Structure 1
Amino acid sequence: MISTEGTLLGKSLEELTYWVQQQGQPAYRGKQLHQWLYQKGARSLEEIHVFPKVWRKKLSNYPVGRSTINYRIISPDATRKYLLSLDDGLIIEAVGIPTTKRLTVCVSSQVGCPIACDFCATGKGGYDRNLKAHEIVDQVLTVQEDFQRRVSHVVFMGMGEPLLNFEAVISAVRILNQDMRIGQRSLTISTVGLPQKIIRFANYNLQVTFAVSLHASNQTLREKLIPSAIHYPIKQLLEDCQKYVEITKRRVTFEYILLEGVNDLPEHAIELSNHLRGFQSHVNLIPYNPIKEANYQRPNQRNTQTFMKILQQHKVTVSVRYSRGLKANAACGQLQSSRLFLN
């Protein structure tokens, strides 16, 4: 039995068709509703003027599932950060990153984050709850509406650990792909790496980009930066990533935030190269984006280039990613939890 409960956003065409029929409307209204939700971004049923006026008024307060923009800031590089108020009053952050050819949305998957990486503002603010699938999709619709431009790419790199909200993230991927028509290869799921979750994710055989936040070249250093790493030795993590490649036939992207004097030395680059020799992977080096809650420093360009060259010399595919939105605190690792904002 298809459920008629909950918000309209997040439901498939089949579910929406069933819902309108339960309201005494003809089946074709399901397709209209689907279009208005996912292509036009309707925030209420009253906006859908192709529906009968009497029916719209009757259901004017039915929950569609859209958030409210609490605050918006635009960075000098045109990146926009949004603080979005959810139905329960909690606040999440999403980021819109425009270029000439694409519009990327960095979405959150949780309110806050329980992983508590030592260099990340989100982790410093604690954790409240998982987001529902429609709350993830709403972030994309909000950015699309604000830019008045179609979103082309979505990265799950905002607040939270996506694989700790597994079912909702998988549902959101389905909605973004099937209902909003964003290709799976334009979606990126980023994880710090959780025992058993990577293989489970691989078995869905999605065509998304899979990114693992490594950030260290050895177990001791990784535990210092990512406390949860104590439960997932780097050797086992990399073995699971190899299995991911075998199952999906797709490479893994390793995210590596460079912290001056901590993990950016030549010996770290050599150690990382040894781990990834022969690995179907790509390394994204990300110079650290400062936050007031931590004392780490951003590496200089010379050290960054030296680190990259060492990886290249060891036949590791690598690039440097300079984050957008730095001056708006919208860059990688800078998103805050609702708790910090409300205080």
Structure 2
Amino acid sequence: MTQAATNAAPASAPITQDVLTIPRKLPETGRVNIIGLTREELREALIAAGTPEKQARMRVGQIWQWVYHWGLRDFAQMTNLAKDYRALLAQAFDISLPEIVTRQVSADGTRKYLLRIAGGHEVETVYIPEETRGTLCISSQVGCTLTCSFCHTGTQKLVRNLTAGEIVGQVMVARDDLGEWPQPGAPRDETRLVSNVVLMGMGEPLYNFDNVRNAMKVVMDGEGISLSRRRITLSTSGIVPEIAKTAEEIGCLLAVSFHATTDETRDRLVPVNKKWNIEKLLGALREYPRLSNSERITFEYVMLDGVNDSDDDARRLLRLIRGIPAKINLIPFNEWPGAPYKRSSWERIESFADIVHKAGYASPIRTPRGEDIMAACGQLKSATERGRKSRAEIAAEARA
């Protein structure tokens, strides 16, 4: 789970990334992968493949339920469709998910999947089981354009954005592995193993806005995977112009990788702050709960020894967020090879949390999960793109 940010670009630059665009058609088969298509996109694709326009909306509903409610991957088994129509679908379309390369299970039950996607690239997805819920942390990019100095993923160059299908596919792969799809004829079971999704994996979701939005439309659709928007949290480093769009077009919960209480420190930790500083970011965040009808914003704050963990930092944080419905999520730094920082002491973290709590804010200290398999916050980095920088290079960038 990555707390991500980006190098500052010229203020007039559009919020886009120079990345490879993956075509809808799978190069191996020439067929269109329907995973990740919105309902309207699927309707248009069905019409283009020969479905009568008057039937298209009904066919979308039928196929949608088979794929996203039942988890079916074979058109031939969609028994409420005529055989000749199933054959037409099989000729024109595919139902393909990312491939599991490795699956690691931590001593605490956390599962980390290394997934291969189109082009041979790999991303990581993490499932975290808890007593009352199961949280799936998904990625939005291969690598990251952001260079947060405390984040392992930030030492990996951005390769490309994930497609909507590759984002939805991570949710479906996890449900496959957990055996969560309902079984026809079995008693209805409302227990959800993947009950929450967090866009906190590799990449900055708001630098891949369209694909993230479309993927979440699929995940939130009530006739399929059916996760409420309040069960989805998008984490951003602070791409200010996209925050209002997130509220209006997705409406999910928002988390912000904050991590510092002065621009000087945040410029070093989260370099996107040089473009959209703390004042601009907080201005956008104050509007988010109203625009999205969300209850509160989560401020993610990684605890770095001697960098951002003083009592003065805690008090400054409280002054900055005054008036914003908020929770402060304190994250003990998860160290990785070559990291230029150390985790704050437990006493220091508890002192910080106590100041925040006494001011009336929830201030949970996140229990590190999956550290033994490098699956904790800020540790994700796909093996094929690893190209790890030296400790000296990382430390030099942190000082710059």
With the length of structure 2 as denominator, give the TM-score of the two structures. 0.78
Deviations 1:156-187 (A, max 9, x none): 00000011111111111111101421111100
- In structure 2, the residue matched to 1:229 is 273
1:173 alignment partner, one of 216, 220, 223 = 216
2:64 alignment partner, one of 2, 16, 34 = 34
Q: Mark the CA change 1:59 to 1:146 in structure 2 (over 3 Å): closer, same or farther.
A: same
* Residues in 2 aligned to 1:300 and 1:14: alpha-carbon distance in whole angstroms: 52
Moved more, 28-37 or 270-279: 28-37
1:209 alignment partner, one of 253, 256, 265 = 253
- Within-5 A mapping of 1:77-226: 77-149=108-180, 150=192, 151-178=194-221, 179-204=224-249, 206=251, 208-226=252-270
* Residues in 2 aligned to 1:245 and 1:31: alpha-carbon distance in whole angstroms: 32
User: What amino acid sits opposite 1:7 in the alignment?
Assistant: N
Aligned-pair distance for 1:253? Answer: 1.0
- In structure 2, the residue matched to 1:315 is 360
Moved more, 120-129 or 312-321: 312-321
**Does the Cα contact within 8 Å between 2:38 and 2:217 map onto a contact in 1?**
no
Aligned-pair distance for 1:242? Answer: 0.9
With the length of structure 1 as denominator, give the TM-score of the two structures. 0.90
SS of 1:312's partner is helix
* Residues in 2 aligned to 1:273 and 1:186: alpha-carbon distance in whole angstroms: 26
Q: Mark the CA change 1:334 to 1:57 in structure 2 (over 3 Å): closer, same or farther.
A: same
Q: Mark the CA change 1:114 to 1:241 in structure 2 (over 3 Å): closer, same or farther.
A: same
**Does the Cα contact within 8 Å between 1:46 and 1:60 map onto a contact in 2?**
no
- Within-5 A mapping of 1:285-324: 285-324=330-369
User: What amino acid sits opposite 1:316 in the alignment?
Assistant: Y
Deviations 1:224-264 (A, max 9, x none): 11122111111111111112234334321110010111111
- In structure 2, the residue matched to 1:238 is 282
* Residues in 1 aligned to 2:68 and 2:352: alpha-carbon distance in whole angstroms: 43
- In structure 1, the residue matched to 2:382 is 337
- In structure 1, the residue matched to 2:14 is none
Q: Mark the CA change 1:287 to 1:40 in structure 2 (over 3 Å): closer, same or farther.
A: same
* Residues in 2 aligned to 1:205 and 1:43: alpha-carbon distance in whole angstroms: 27
**Does the Cα contact within 8 Å between 2:136 and 2:197 map onto a contact in 1?**
yes
SS of 2:33's partner is coil
SS of 1:243's partner is helix
Aligned-pair distance for 1:32? Answer: 3.7
**Does the Cα contact within 8 Å between 2:36 and 2:167 map onto a contact in 1?**
no
- In structure 1, the residue matched to 2:183 is none
* Residues in 1 aligned to 2:387 and 2:309: alpha-carbon distance in whole angstroms: 35
**Does the Cα contact within 8 Å between 1:260 and 1:298 map onto a contact in 2?**
yes
User: What amino acid sits opposite 1:224 in the alignment?
Assistant: R
**Does the Cα contact within 8 Å between 1:276 and 1:316 map onto a contact in 2?**
no
* Residues in 1 aligned to 2:230 and 2:156: alpha-carbon distance in whole angstroms: 32
**Does the Cα contact within 8 Å between 1:259 and 1:296 map onto a contact in 2?**
yes
**Does the Cα contact within 8 Å between 2:156 and 2:386 map onto a contact in 1?**
no
Aligned-pair distance for 1:55? Answer: 4.8
Aligned-pair distance for 1:41? Answer: 2.7
Identity rate of aligned residues, in percent?
36
User: What amino acid sits opposite 2:70 in the alignment?
Assistant: K
Deviations 1:16-38 (A, max 9, x none): 45645655568465444222321
User: What amino acid sits opposite 2:139 in the alignment?
Assistant: S
* Residues in 1 aligned to 2:239 and 2:41: alpha-carbon distance in whole angstroms: 32
User: What amino acid sits opposite 1:11 in the alignment?
Assistant: L
**Does the Cα contact within 8 Å between 2:112 and 2:124 map onto a contact in 1?**
yes
> 5+ unaligned residues in a row in structure 2: which ranges?
1-23, 26-30, 181-191, 389-400
Q: Count residues with an aligned counterpart.
A: 340
Q: Mark the CA change 1:67 to 1:274 in structure 2 (over 3 Å): closer, same or farther.
A: same
**Does the Cα contact within 8 Å between 2:217 and 2:250 map onto a contact in 1?**
no
2:37 alignment partner, one of 11, 14, 20 = 11
User: What amino acid sits opposite 1:313 in the alignment?
Assistant: K
**RMSD in angstroms over aligned alpha carbons?**
2.6
* Residues in 2 aligned to 1:205 and 1:88: alpha-carbon distance in whole angstroms: 28
Q: Does 1:327 align with 2:372?
A: yes
* Residues in 1 aligned to 2:76 and 2:362: alpha-carbon distance in whole angstroms: 52
Q: Mark the CA change 1:232 to 1:20 in structure 2 (over 3 Å): closer, same or farther.
A: closer
Higher relative contact order, structure no. (Cα contacts within 8 Å, ≥ 6 residues apart): 2
